[in-house]
Amino acid sequence: MKMRAVKGLAAVAVSTLLFVHSLIPAFASGNDYVIYTVVSGDSLWKISNKYGVSIQEITELNSLTGTIILVGQKLKIPVSTPQSNSIVYTVKSGDTLWKIASAYNTSIQAIVDANKIDPNQYLMIGQKLYIPAVENNTQPYVTYVEHVVQKGDNVWDLSIKYGIPQNEILEANNLTVQSVLYIGQKLKIPVHHVPVTSTPGPQYGEYLDWWTQAQYLFPIGAKAKVTDFATGRSYNVIRSFGAFHADCEPLTARDASIMYEIWGNEWSWQARASIVEVNGRKIAASVSNMPHDIENIKDNQFNGHFDVHFLNSTRHKDNQVSQEHQTQIKIAAGRK
């Protein structure tokens, strides 16, 4: 009796693992199909309906001579090749198709079509989704969420938490920097939605305005991968400060070393075309690697921070646009 019970539990565990695995697409070379593991109760009709493809497409891709499939069998399911300007989003805890579609100003159906998934299927944490670019409505817009003030809250910390400038929280709530928050107070927090825009090719970054788009995708406290456009070498950074442009620091000594090598083994104010990749978005940027002023990270062998500019961002010293940086940003965006 005990042995049978153990075997029964094992069978259930294996069946559960197969079911979970079947929901997670494993993209093969070329990204033209996903691997699906057959579970109990499956049929070619059911699978074809789930992924929005024909039975004939599945049978031809898998060289099947009949319609009989077996539990545990691996099937290639054809999917559409993503647009070159789509982004790859990694599903997080609490995500839904509606939530993701709203965040990227697209539709649930557009995401379903791009990924060949069942809209009623549960999303899995870590699952990769293609988010197609929005061609017709690329204007950013703002919505609001409510924050109930807790003990210890202040406007600066809330601005970091929600990734928006402090002055926007103050303005949205008719507050000043001298205002005192009280526990239980309800604050309106602006949420900026920045639709995905098209690029000339996958090697380029989105050409996004700093003031209305880029600063909200790359807020203070956010980490990013920066790729030098000319050499293809990448390093990791965090945005530590900055209002007129992003003031960043290399995350580690290794990242600082890579930056040093990219600029010909020197620290320099020379602007270089770069791609800033944050949360799946690739943004056209320009970087100078000269360390200067204040810093947060003490063990990265980089004394200070460096400048990252985006479309229409300005210098801190005079709030003027740097044409050198803007030229490099155009290169990273494929506009020059």
Q: Do 226 and 315 belong together in one domain?
A: yes
What amino acid occupies position 195?
P
3-class SS shares of the chain: helix, strand, coil, % to 5: 30, 25, 45
273 bridge partner residues: 286
DSSP line for 74-126: EEEEE-PPPPTT-EEEE--TT--HHHHHHHTT--HHHHHHHHT--TTSPP-TT
C-alpha span between 330 and 268 (Å, rounded): 20
**H-helix or E-strand spanning residue 22:** helix 2-23
18: CB partners within 8 A, 6+ apart = 37, 38, 39, 71, 72
Q: Do 13 and 73 belong together in one domain?
A: yes
C-alpha span between 290 and 120 (Å, rounded): 50
Domain with 113, as residue range(s), is 81-138
Specify the length of the chain in residues.
336
In a domain, 204, yes or no: no
C-alpha span between 314 and 323 (Å, rounded): 10
pTM metric for this prediction: 0.64
What amino acid occupies position 100?
I
Q: Do 91 and 115 belong together in one domain?
A: yes
Query: For residue 79, what pLDDT is reported?
Result: 66
Please count the other Cβ atoms lying within 10 Å of the Cβ belonging to residue 55: 15
CATH number at residue 289: 2.30.110
pLDDT tens by residue, the chain, 336 residues: 334 433 333 333 333 333 333 333 333 333 467 788 899 988 888 887 666 667 888 888 899 988 899 999 999 887 655 555 567 788 888 888 888 887 777 778 888 877 777 777 778 887 878 887 665 456 788 889 999 999 999 999 999 999 999 999 999 999 999 999 999 999 999 999 888 888 888 899 999 999 999 999 999 999 999 999 999 999 999 999 999 999 999 999 999 999 999 999 999 999 999 999 998 899 999 999 999 999 999 999 999 999 999 999 999 999 999 999 999 999 999 998
Among 138, 160, 185, identify where a domain stops.
138
C-alpha span between 17 and 73 (Å, rounded): 14
C-alpha span between 94 and 141 (Å, rounded): 23
For 154, the token pair is 């202040």
How many domains, the chain?
Answer: 4
CATH number at residue 187: 3.10.350.10
Beta-carbon-side half-sphere exposure of residue 101 (alpha carbons within 13 Å): 13
On whether the CB atoms of residues 294 and 249 are closer than 8 A, the answer is no
Q: Do 107 and 25 belong together in one domain?
A: no
In a domain, 328, yes or no: yes
Among 127, 161, 193, identify where a domain stops.
193
Query: For residue 32, what pLDDT is reported?
Result: 64
Sign of the Cα torsion 105, 106, 107, 111 reads: negative
C-alpha span between 312 and 181 (Å, rounded): 34
In a domain, 198, yes or no: no
Q: Do 239 and 262 belong together in one domain?
A: yes
On whether the CB atoms of residues 238 and 221 are closer than 8 A, the answer is yes
Among 55, 79, 103, identify where a domain stops.
79
